[in-house]
């Protein structure tokens, strides 16, 4: 069972996000394009025997900071290292592109993501209070070393 990480498209992300039950609403093409248009961005997909099983999307916040915005793995493909492979690929690309750090936000209701971030050297640097009664976000930062 070999998982391949490669560059994906916005359409890939839209299709995959519909298969991730934790997300209240699937990501739309319009939402992706409005956030990524004009920004340096990276869309990664994980494939197992040619089928999409996960993704990770990020974009430049500043010259030094890359923001890892969206990511997910289809439930039946979790606990097989897919998210770790996506994270590692993104980190290498970000470092090779000259950024100094990666910023990520997550929530308590995603314990798998919190564990992944902490076990890979991401540090909690803040909390974003909730808006409109939604859950607040935990802000993580990882400084990359050359």
Predicted confidence at residue 26, as pLDDT, reads 65
Predicted TM-score (pTM) of the model is: 0.91
Give the chain's mean pLDDT.
Answer: 92
How far is Cα 76 from Cα 73, in angstroms, rounded to an integer? 8
Nearest alpha-carbon partner for 103 in 130, 89, 124, 81: 124
Cross-strand pairs, 41: 59
């Amino acid at each position: 069972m070999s998982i391949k990480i490669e560059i994906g498209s916005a359409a890939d992300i839209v299709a995959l996000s519909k298969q991730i039950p934790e997300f209240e609403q699937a990501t739309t093409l319009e939402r992706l394009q409005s956030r990524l248009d004009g920004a340096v961005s990276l869309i990664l997909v994980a494939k197992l025997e040619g089928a999409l099983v996960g993704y990770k999307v990020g974009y430049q916040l500043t010259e030094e900071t890359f923001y890892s915005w969206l990511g997910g793995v289809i439930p039946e493909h979790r606990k097989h290292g897919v998210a770790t492979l996506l994270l590692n690929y993104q980190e290498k690309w970000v470092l090779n592109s000259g950024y100094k750090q990666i910023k990520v936000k997550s929530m308590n209701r995603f314990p798998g993501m919190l564990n992944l971030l902490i076990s890979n050297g991401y540090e909690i640097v803040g909390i974003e209070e909730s808006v409109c009664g939604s859950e607040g976000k935990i802000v993580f930062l990882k400084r990359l070393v050359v």
